[in-house]
Structure 1
Amino acid sequence: MGAHLLFLLLSLFSLALATVAGAGIGAGESTFQYLKLPLLHNRPFPSQILSSDSTRLISLHRRRAQLPVTSGSASGTGQYFVEFHLGTPPQRLLLVADTGSDLVWVTCSACRNCSERVPHSAFLARHSASFAPVHCYDEKCKLVPHPRRVACNHTRLHSPCRYEYFYSDGSVTSGFFATETTAFNASSGLPVRFKNVKFGCGFRASGPSITGPSFNGAQGVLGLGRGPISLATQLGRRFGNKFSYCLMDYTLAPTPRSYLVIGDSQGGGATNGSRMSFTPLIHNSVSPTFYYIGIESVNIEDTKLPISPSVWAIDELGNGGTVMDSGTTLTFLAQPAYTRIVNEFKRRVKLPQPAELTPGFDLCINVSGLPNPNPNLPKITFRFAGGSVFAPPTGNYFLDTAPDVKCLALQPVASPAAFSVIGNLMQQGFTFEFDRDQSLLGFSRHGCSQP
């Protein structure tokens, strides 16, 4: 849900358990070096990808744990769902995991006798002994946006902090800001519990992004952005302010397991840090939630494309730049760069076009009748700031959109004020580690889980 929208890409509707290592967190709790959770993926339809990504990009551009994760693909969505246990005793919910937003919020119900409700359809605050609304006069209440029409009564003991969280497409969720105890299932079968996690208890939701088909099966959103109330920030302080993930090739069968890790990925066995390449994470004060990186140049094979550095730059108003986003499936590039890249691919790719073009894609090829259904295609290379080189395999940017049809999985961003996005399809097969203390993004082909 980019700084207010939903989508963490591909995976399969299945449940997973967290692997926990290390020792000792706070009084009466254990501290862990890392939390490691499996991510599974299923392939969404291209039309669903384009629709979801387009809605998300509109939201991202206008908007100014590791936990068990399951995919919404089986319900027609292209998101990662996180299994989130909230309250005492724990109530199981599925949340959309989102690196492009900060607020953790769940659909809440105020009903007392909920025996006739669909199980897990909402969080029942009245049934939790650890639910604690934040008072509107509490400093924590300043961390979330408020409806201005609601005045805070400082003298009342029970005057909750009300929030209203808007999305650029007109969607909105509102409710009470609160704290709760969360629990994640460990591989040992024992729960790992964290107290006083701040979240939004949402009683109202409206708008296409959170009531439409893209939200099917979810009861809220898990924000993993750079802001102070994201789960990556709240738990990250206990895990070295790092998190990482590895997304495997979704076309393989059986689908190999991917991982999301909160904590030190080296300690989690994800990769050897000496084999990682690094690029700085750039802070944009206008959009502080997002994980920006710098692009210095783009090559197709051995040809460096004549793209001005200004195409990739963040201007003085905070516009432009490039965001690394696990919540967007395709890669979106500023129009001048997109045009150069697509034209160079068209110049080099000599294979026939399909009889019917896939709507929304500018370059598609017909591979029927070829001795190899995965022909050699031109390779793209990104040179990031700091000199690191990101060279994804061609399967990361040529998408199977129909039998015997492959399309270049890039999209243009027409607005000069918008930013580019490296989507999760382009990221497959790499471990990405977000070191928030050092403001570095590390990446490596080594250490991703194997099929």
Structure 2
Amino acid sequence: MAAAAAASSTSSSQPFLYLLLRSLLLLVAARLSSASLKLPLHHTLTLSPTYPQRPATVVSPVVSGASAGTGQYFVTLHLGSPPQPLHLVVDTGSDLIWARCSSSSNSSSSSPVDPLRPFHPLLSSSFCPLHCYDPLCRLVPRVPHFPCHRHTRIHSACRYNYTYGDGSFSSGIFASDITTVNTTRNGLAKLPLLHFGCAFHSSGPSVSGPAFHGAQGVLGLGRGPISFSTQLHRRFGNKFSYCLMDFTLSPPPTSFLIIGNHPSKNSTMAFTKLIANPALPTFYYVNVTSVSVDGVKLHIDPSVWALDETGSGGTVVDSGTTLTLIIEPAYSAILAAMRRRLELPEASPSGQVPFDLCVNVTGVRRPRLPRLRFGMEGEGWMRRKATFSPPARNYFIDTEEGVKCLGIQPVGDGGGAFSVIGNVMQQGYLWEFDNDRSRLGFTRRGCAVSP
């Protein structure tokens, strides 16, 4: 069931408008992450010991960051003994799990009522920094030229430096600790030992300031061996799913992150093949084969969507990117087709709104907006095409009262660029990332009812 349409009042649209402006400046660079150096999907290193048989699924609430003026979704993770709650960005476009850390042993150094206080590793009896000679330390980007002494643990912790494409970074100690999560039915659920980055330094537009309001770190859900889903695959299977409900609504509906099999089978789910890109193995690539507007297929050369031999091109499904980004010349073709089909007057929004197409919908109760459809390569031996046909509110967004804009941005076709299906476009769908079968499922049914 699709979420209700976003409110169009000026006051309710301001935080959303801000996050969209921020998206244009940051998210293209952030997705071209030099830190996203992913290792093979099924690695041989043991990330956790064997645990007793327990329920095969964890369902954890996901909340919107709209109230903080950011276009991210968060999940609460509890680290340490006793547990310390952390608000982390749900990001399928990166692997590392990391949280802001404090070197203080005094919890009063940050307000006990502050929901965004950092993690205090010295207050956790189960916190354990990994040694720089530990094989797991090879899975994270290391601090260059930092001495590593085999027999001196205090001075030889595994020091990482995770750098994003826009220059943002998270730097600290790669460590392990006991983890629990909030679930919808059973309260706190204990998980296997988690390996994560304890960040004593983080800086840059993607991980600090207004772009990071409401967050204490990032929950990486990428395809690499240090991501949250991969670390838990021995217990739950290498599969997870989520619903991202419309975060412009107030109060926002509850979304869910499901680790393991979804509790309910959904026969309406369409599947498309996940494509591996050795150059950027973190990302969930899908093969877009066609785009249509109001049922008319656009004339776009298939090579525009394809991954080339250098790893450039392709299309990524990413929960950590707000807007959808389309590579040229496909973007220009979509923009031109939208203009041809629109029967509403174009608008010139106030301020510096970075959109190429806006329409005036003042007084129009149900504006007729063109329908956008993405055809994707099917999954399985039959290779039936999977069609992603989101509602218009997923790509025509309210920027101010009486104005809707096409919330898609262009990406240049050079320098390793690729297209991104962002979280606004994903809203109202149940998405299933199945790494065991290397496929991505999606359906508009399954989000209205709690799993």
TM range, smaller chain: 0.7 to 0.9
2:230 pairs, out of 229, 233, 237, with 233
What displacement does 1:253 show? 5.9
Q: TM-score with structure 1 length normalisation?
A: 0.85
Matched, 1:49 2:46: no
Map residues 19-418 of structure 1 onto 2, 5 A cutoff: 44-63=15-34, 66-119=59-112, 121-158=117-154, 159-188=156-185, 190-250=187-247, 255-265=252-262, 268-269=263-264, 271-272=265-266, 274-356=267-349, 359-370=353-364, 372=365, 374-386=366-378, 387-416=385-414, 417-418=416-417
The alpha-carbon distance between structure 1 residues 115 and 47, as it changes in their structure 2 partners (threshold 3 A), is: closer
Query: CA deviation digits over 1:316-347, x for unaligned, max 9?
Result: 00001000111222211111001011101101
3-state SS of 1:130 partner: coil
Bigger mean CA offset, 191-200 vs 278-287? 191-200
Distance 1:216 1:106 in 2: 14
Q: Give yes or no for contact 1:325–1:424 (8 Å, CA) kept in 2.
A: yes
Give the superposed CA RMSD.
2.2
Q: CA deviation at 1:363?
A: 1.1
- Give the whole-Å Cα distance in 1 for the aligned partners of 2:322 and 2:195: 28
Secondary structure of the 1:281 match is strand
**Quick one: distance in 2 between partners of 1:440 and 1:101?**
18
Q: What is the TM-score of this pair, normalised by structure 2?
A: 0.85
Which structure carries more relative contact order (alpha carbon 8 Å, separation 6+)? 2
User: Offset of 1:210 from its aligned partner?
Assistant: 2.0
- C-alpha change, 1:137 and 1:344, in structure 2 (3 Å) is same
Moved more, 351-360 or 399-408: 351-360
Name the SS for the 1:137 alignment partner.
Answer: coil
SS in 1 for 2:207: helix
- Separation (CA, whole Å) in 2 of partners of 1:42 and 1:124: 36
Find the aligned partners of 2:428 and 2:14 in 1 and give their Cα distance: 15
Q: Which amino acid aligns with 1:111?
A: S
Q: Is 1:299–1:381's contact at 8 Å kept on the other side of the alignment?
A: yes
Instruction: Identify if the C-alpha distance between structure 1 residues 82 and 382 changes in structure 2 by more than 3 Å, giving closer, same or farther.
Output: same
Moved more, 244-253 or 283-292: 244-253
Q: 1:444 to 1:104 in 2, by over 3 A?
A: same
> Residues 360-395 of structure 1: CA distance to partner in whole angstroms, max 9, x if unpaired?
11111111133x2x2222111111012111111112
Listed one character per residue, the Cα deviations across residues 261-283 of structure 1 (whole Å, up to 9, x for unaligned) are: 11111xx22x51x3211100000
CA contact (8 A) 2:93 2:222 kept: yes
Q: Aligned equivalents of 2:249 and 2:26: distance in 1?
A: 28
Secondary structure class of the residue paired with 1:156:
coil
Q: Deviations over 1:14-69 (max 9, x none)?
A: xxxxxxxxxxxxxxxxxxxxxxxxxxx99842232131353021121253565443
Q: Report the more deviating stretch, 355-364 or 423-432.
A: 355-364
Asked whether 1:426 is paired with 2:386, we answer no
SS for the counterpart of 2:148 is coil
Residue segments in structure 1 that go unaligned for 5+ positions in a row: 1-40
Q: Distance in 2 between matches of 1:217 and 1:376?
A: 36
Amino acid at match of 1:46: L
What is the number of equivalent residue pairs in this alignment? 406
1:126-174: CA deviation from partner (whole Å, max 9, x where unpaired):
1111111111111011011111221210122432111111122222221
Q: What does residue 9 of structure 2 align with? A: none
Give the SS at the match of 1:275: coil
5+ long unaligned stretches in structure 2: 1-11, 37-57, 379-384
Q: What is the DSSP-based 3-state SS (H/G/I as helix, E as strand, rest coil) of the residue aligned with 2:347? A: coil
1:309 Cα offset (Å): 0.4
Rounded Cα–Cα distance in structure 2 between residues aligned with 1:304 and 1:163 = 47
Q: Deviations over 1:63-107 (max 9, x none)?
A: 356544333322222212221110011011212221111111111
Q: Using the alignment, how far apart are the partners of 2:160 and 2:316 within structure 1?
A: 27
Q: Distance in 2 between matches of 1:126 and 1:356?
A: 51
Mapped partners of 2:94, 2:173: distance in 1: 18
Q: Given residue 141 of structure 1, which amino acid in structure 2 is its aligned partner?
A: C
**Offset of residue 258 of structure 1:** 2.2
**Residue 248 and residue 206 in structure 1: after superposition, are their counterparts in 2 closer, same or farther (change >3 A)?**
closer
Q: Supply the distance in 2 between the matched residues of 1:93 and 1:137 (Cα, whole angstroms).
A: 28
Separation in structure 2 between the aligned mates of residue 118 and residue 254 of structure 1, nearest angstrom: 26
User: Cα gap change, 1:404/1:225 in structure 2, threshold over 3 Å: closer, same or farther?
Assistant: same
